[in-house]
Amino acid sequence: MKHIKTLNGATLKNSAAKGGCGECQTSCQSACKTSCTVANQKCENTGK
């Protein structure tokens, strides 16, 4: 494309199918204790 570069595809949509295993880290257990950010956690689903 001439005018647009896609940095990321429809990853959220794709994650819905096999998500929700709950094995990922709890956000406040990492390096934040006051300002929750979930998108910086790692996915730990070994079955997807």
Partner 1 sequence: MIHTFTALGCKIVVDVNSGAVHVLDDVSYAILEQMEGPLCDHLPEEVAQRLPYERQTLEEAWQELLNLQEAGLLFAEDDYVDPETAMLLPKSAQIKALCLHVSHDCNLRCKYCFASTGDFGTGHRMTMDFETAKKAIDFVIARSGKRRNIEVDFFGGEPLMAMDTVKRTVEYARSVEKEAGKCFRFTITTNGVLLNDENIEYINREMSNAVLSLDGRKEVNDELRPTINGKGSYDLIVPKFKKLIAGRGTRDYYLRGTFTRFHKDFAKDVMELASIGKNVSVEPVVGKESDPYALRESDLPELKAEYERLAEFLKDHRDVNFFHFNVDLAQGPCVIKRLRGCGAGCEYVAITPDGDIYPCHQFVGNEEYKLGNLEDGSFDMEKSGKFAELNVYTREACKTCWARFYCSGGCSASNLLVNGDIKEPHTVGCELERKRLECAIALKAIDAGMAE
Q: Does 6 bind partner 1 (CB under 8 A)?
A: yes
Residue 47 makes contact with partner 1 by CB under 8 A = no
If binding is defined by CB under 8 A, does position 34 make contact with partner 1?
yes
Per-residue CA distances from 17 to 5, 12, 41 (Å) = 26, 10, 19
Residue 38 found at the interface with partner 1 (CB under 8 A): yes
CB of 44 to partner 1, least distance (A): 6
The verdict on 13 binding partner 1 (CB under 8 A) reads yes
DSSP 42: P
CB 45 within 8 A of CB 21: yes
